[in-house]
Amino acid sequence: MPEAPTTCSITNIAALVTNDPAQGDGSPLGIIEDAALVIEGDTVAWVGPTHRAPAADQTHDAGGKAAVPGFVDSHSHLLYAGDRTQEFNARMSGRAYTAGGIRTTVRATREATDEALAATLAAHLREMRAQGTTTVETKSGYGLSPEHEARALRMAARTPGMEEVTYLGAHIVPPEYAADPDAYTALVAGDMLDACAPYARWVDVFCEQGAFDEDQSRTILTAGKAKGLIPRVHANQLTHGPGVQLAVEVGAASADHCTHLTDADVEALAGSSTVATLLPGCEFSTRAVYPDARRLLEAGATVALSTDCNPGSSYTSSMPFCIAIAVREMNMTPDQALWSATAGGAQALRRTDVGRLTPGCRADIALLDAPSHVHLSYRPGVPLVAEVWQAGVRG
C-alpha cells in the first residue's frame, strides 16, 4: 500500500480568496474570513473557517495574513538575452514604441550561450515566484530561425517550473527575410513549426502593422493548429487591426494586449471563449493609452491580467504591480483585478487546476502581509507577498 500523503493545515488566514463563488461571502472571489486551508500532498483538500478545520499532520499558523491563489502569469517572453535600457531611455524622452527593438534582442539572443539563456530564464522564474506567481507561460520569438527558436523552446520545456510554452516564430520578420516576408511566413508555418512543435503547447503570432498581417497570421495559426498547438494572438497592441477578430475566428485561447478595440472587437470577444488578456505593464512602459477593462467586463468578456515580461515593452515580472496599475488605470475593481490575475490567467491557459483554491486544485498559495487582497492595489509598490506555496511546498 502506498503511504497516504502528508497533510498540512494553514490556519489563521485573515481572508482566503478561493475564486469559488460557492464559498464564503458568495462573491466571485468566494472569500472566507478567519479561514484555514488543508493541503494533502500537492493538492488543496479542504477550505473553510479555522474553527472547523479538520486535523492534519502538520499545522502552519499564517499569523493573520490574507491568502490568494498563486498568480497565473499567462503571457511572458523570458527566452532572451541582452538589454534595451537605451531604448527605454529614448522612449521616456518622447520616442514612440514601434516593436522594431525586437531585432536588437534577436541579435543578442542568437549570440548568447545556452547557459546564459537558461540563467536568465531561471532568474526570472525566481523573481516571479518571490512575487507570488506560481504558474508561468513563456514564448520564444527572439530566435527567429528554426535552430534558434527550437533551442529556446527546448530549454523552456526542460526547465522546472516552466509549465506553459508557446511557439512565437512569428514575432517579427528577421532582417535576412526583410525582402521576402512571405517566405518567412512559409518557414514559420513549415520547417520552423516542425522543429518547434514538440516543445510547445501553444502557437502565437504578433498580428500587427509592421509584423504579420491577417493572412500571414491566419496561415501560421492554422498550421500550428494542424500540428496540435492551440492558438493565442498578440492582437491590437499598436493599432486597431484584425488581430482580435482573427483570434476569435481561429478559436484562440486568448487575444493579448487588446489596447485598441472597436465595439465590434469587444462584442466578438464577449461572444466567444477567447479570453482578453490585458498587459498593463506594457502600456506603462511604452507610455501608451490603457485599454478599458470595464468596457470588456460589462460586455461579458473574460479578462486576464499578465505581465508580458520582456526586455522591450514591459520589463516587469511583478503581477502585484500589474494588478495595481489595472485597478488605477484600466477601470478594474481590486476584486476584478485579483480574479483576472489568478482565475482569468488560468482560463487563458485553459487550466482548471490552478487559479483557484478549492478542493482538488493544486496547492499554489500566496500569503500576503496584509489583511486582504485589496492591499495589492491599495499599497502599490510595497512587497506584500510574504510566503509562496507551490504544489503544497512552502518556498
Which positions make up the binding site for N-formimidoyl-L-glutamate?
142, 310, 312
Question: What kind and span of H or E run contains 10?
Answer: strand 7-17
277 lies in the site for ligand NIG, by CB under 6 A: no
Nearer to ligand NIG, 7 or 316 (CB): 316
Return the range that interacts with ligand NIG (CB under 6 A); candidates 118-126, 309-317, 327-335, 346-354: 309-317
At 246, the amino acid letter reads: L
Q: Which residue is it, cell 480568496?
A: 17
Nearer to Fe ion, 349 or 363 (CB): 349
Give me the torsion for CA of 281, 72, 309, 129, rounded to 10°: 110
Residue 206: name the closest of 178, 239, 171, 241 by CA.
Answer: 171
d(CA 329, CA 111): 38
Nearer to ligand NIG, 108 or 299 (CB): 108
At 220, the amino acid letter reads: I
> Residue 367's beta-bridge partner residues?
67, 387
Nearer to Fe ion, 290 or 378 (CB): 290
Nearer to Fe ion, 139 or 373 (CB): 139
Contact residue for ligand NIG among 16, 47, 66, 99 (CB under 6 A): 99
Residues numbered 287-346 forming contacts with Fe ion, rule: CB under 5 A: 308
105 lies in the site for ligand NIG, by CB under 6 A: yes
Nearer to Fe ion, 11 or 138 (CB): 138
The DSSP secondary-structure symbol of 288 reads P
Which positions make up the binding site for Zn(2+)? 75, 77, 234, 308
Question: What kind and span of H or E run contains 106?
Answer: helix 102-111
Closest residue to Fe ion, Cβ-based?
308
Cβ neighbours, 10 Å, residue 98: 13
The alpha-carbon radius of gyration of the chain (Å, integer) is 21
Burial class (CB in 10 A: 0-12, 13-18, 19+), 114: exposed
d(CA 67, CA 69): 7
d(CA 288, CA 97): 9
Q: To the nearest whole angstrom, how small is the minimum distance from the Cβ of residue 294 to Fe ion?
A: 23
Q: To the nearest whole angstrom, how small is the minimum distance from the Cβ of residue 341 to ligand NIG?
A: 17
Q: To the nearest whole angstrom, how small is the minimum distance from the Cβ of residue 232 to ligand NIG?
A: 11
Which positions make up the binding site? 75, 77, 84, 142, 171, 234, 237, 308, 310, 312-313
x/- contact string, 229-258, with ligand NIG (CB under 6 A)?
-----x--x---------------------
Which positions make up the binding site for 4-imidazolone-5-propanoate? 84, 142, 171, 237, 313
Contact residue for ligand NIG among 308, 324, 349, 385 (CB under 6 A): 308
- Cell readout for 93 is 524622452
Q: Binding partner of residue 206 among Fe ion, ligand NIG, none, CB under 5 to 8 Å per kind?
A: ligand NIG
Contact residue for ligand NIG among 313, 316, 342, 390 (CB under 6 A): 313
Q: Binding partner of residue 105 among Fe ion, ligand NIG, none, CB under 5 to 8 Å per kind?
A: ligand NIG
Burial class (CB in 10 A: 0-12, 13-18, 19+), 381: exposed
d(CA 188, CA 205): 10
Residue 134: name the closest of 354, 374, 384 by CA.
Answer: 354
Question: Buried (b) or exposed (e) across 338-365, using 16+ Cβ within 10 A?
Answer: bbbbbbbbbbbbebeebbbbbeebbbbb
149 lies in the site for Fe ion, by CB under 5 A: no
At 103, the amino acid letter reads: R
Nearer to ligand NIG, 193 or 205 (CB): 205
Q: To the nearest whole angstrom, how small is the minimum distance from the Cβ of residue 313 to Fe ion?
A: 7
Q: To the nearest whole angstrom, how small is the minimum distance from the Cβ of residue 283 to ligand NIG?
A: 10
Q: To the nearest whole angstrom, how small is the minimum distance from the Cβ of residue 155 to ligand NIG?
A: 18
Q: Residue ranges of the alpha helices (H) in 139-270?
A: 146-157, 181-189, 191-196, 214-226, 243-249, 263-270
In the complex, the residues that contact Fe ion under the rule CB under 5 A are 308
Binding site for ligand NIG (CB under 6 A): 77, 99, 101-102, 105, 206, 234, 237, 282, 308, 310, 312-314
